Chain A
Amino acid sequence: MAPPPQRKLTVLLDALEPGQPSQQLLDRFLIGYPADGKWNAPAFKSITVHAPREAWKADGGLGRRAKDFGLNREDAPAKALQDASAVLVIPRGNGVTANEAATEAAIEASPENTPIFVHGSLANSLQDARRLTGLAVNRKSPLAAGMQLNTAGRLPAFEIPLDSQLKEALVVVQGSFGSGEYAGIHCLLPLIERRAGGESGIKRIYRYQGPILWGVARSGRWPRRLLAPALSRSHSPQGDPVADGRTQDLVGLGLVEKLASAPRGWVVEHRDGFRSTILILDGVVADFNFAIERKDGSVLSAQIHQPPKPNEENYSRLAAAIDRFFASGKAHWPLERSLLAAHLQSAFLNLSLLGGNVSDLSAMKPPIAYRTN
């Protein structure tokens, strides 16, 4: 028997944007979604949205949902939050840039012990992520953050057993500066945190932009040997396959370097000696793939499956995880993952802005070390 609906969900939006997390998640909480072979009915008796006034005017999307599904409008944030049973914060866009003020308001103005989920980045810097975490602890409110790549399926489907003996990881994604890094971080962390001992914290970050990326691979600065297994999982190689449908050994034929436009590589050295590499390779493939080498030399690889638009059913998997968090107050992944994601995202940004190639974080205290469940 389904549990009785919870009382009230408050959603803090910057805007209702078609196809973006704001619409994908709000619709799933309003209407329901498919998960685990059945239709999950909405878990809340009522949903109240607080959004800027222009968001209500924009294209009628919020007004239509008020009419069709009884979505409540509340222009005063404190009133929207005062009797919330759960709060969902969805910033503008795809979640790269956090709306820290909205999250802070959610923590401060909702009742104590209210679960709060933030879509995308928890904060735009580690400092702010830690500040928000501290506020939530003070209010005894469970806080979690994440995005749809965190709950995406894998082709092939497998989970990395906890405490696996892993040596290093390579993730290949695409995207403009910021978005690509955000995707890469959120593909990477759920995989590597399962290694023996858990996440140990970051020691150094190296940045390789442009053709130098290929040069440093020859000297072993990142594991080029993992590129072939990762790209072998792609269903969307670019170049000749786009032109005439042929399959192609992109790595074996030396096509990766030719196809990649403005490649970016981030190599992350962890404190336990583990090494992670995020490659942002526009023009090579059009899906996200990874390969991980175990300490015994064997390699795991998969595509991170992103179901097609417009449904993008990864949002249903994320909604199910959020629903479970709201019901239990326990997130499916540690908040430290979100702190580390914010840390890496801001470190990548700073390194790029400064034009540097390496960032030494070995002195940072405390390191973001954690274990997942």
Chain B
Amino acid sequence: MPDVIDKVELAFTVNGEPVRLRVAPQDTLLHVLREDLELTGTKYGCGEGECGACSVLLDGKVVNSCLVLAAECAGSEVLTIEGLAANGELHRIQKAFVDHGAIQCGFCTPGMIMATCALLRANSSPSEGEIQRALEGNLCRCTGYRKIVDAVRSLAQGGVADA
């Protein structure tokens, strides 16, 4: 017999659009994004904040969405990988990843890009060490990180933080 659950009325913004949902208290933000909103770009990699594949921006800060209850996001702004490209054009971070060969299997890519987005908003000209630190919570098994760091470095020279 399922226990009685007090569903939560959740109103928040996802990729600039207002969203209203009824969620179970236990539903993570990751679950709600993927299952309720069908935004499957954010990935499940481990479910315990150890791999970064589920990274999104929550009120401008990069977080592991597997560690956030959806209910905690009332009134918040969530930005996922699907919210970056605009008007059919790749966001400059996405373009840099593509052009620099920073994507192989692509599973870590959305998380990497969101962590990069957070970095560039806070620091538009990061050093190689700062880039490595900003991505230290995002595991990649394919690329060895070299081209990912190169892609982010190429954006650092741009200077203008339109991330």
Q: Do A and B bind each other?
A: no
